[in-house]
Amino acid sequence: MAYKHTNSKGVTYFLNSKEVTLRGGKLQTIYYFSKDERPEAVQDIPAGFMVNENPRNGFLTVKRK
């Protein structure tokens, strides 16, 4: 079961993660929300992170505490 969050507009989003390679060759995990449940879905918010919502458009992001 993927982590889901409903924003203030009533739209439900699912949290996903992806490993990306930066220019220097370092691997970094990025987190993003989607409206559909995907195979790369995350079970829970990572430790030290919190969900942030843009009050103007309801867009969700994950940021460090």
What does the H/E/C string look like for 3-61? Answer: CEEECCCCCEEEEEEEEEECCCCCEEEEEEEECCCCCCECCCCCCCEEEEECCCCCCEE
Question: Mind listing the pLDDT tens digit for each residue in 4-52?
Answer: 999 999 999 999 999 999 999 999 999 999 999 999 999 999 999 999 9
In terms of residue numbers, what domain contains 33? 4-64
Q: What is the total count of domains within the chain?
A: 1
Cβ count within 10 A of residue 14 = 19
**CA–CA dist 25, 7 (Å, integer):** 35
Cα first-last separation, the chain? 24
Q: Is the pLDDT of residue 1 over 90?
A: no
pTM for this model (two decimals): 0.89
Phi/psi for 11 (5° steps) reads -95, 130
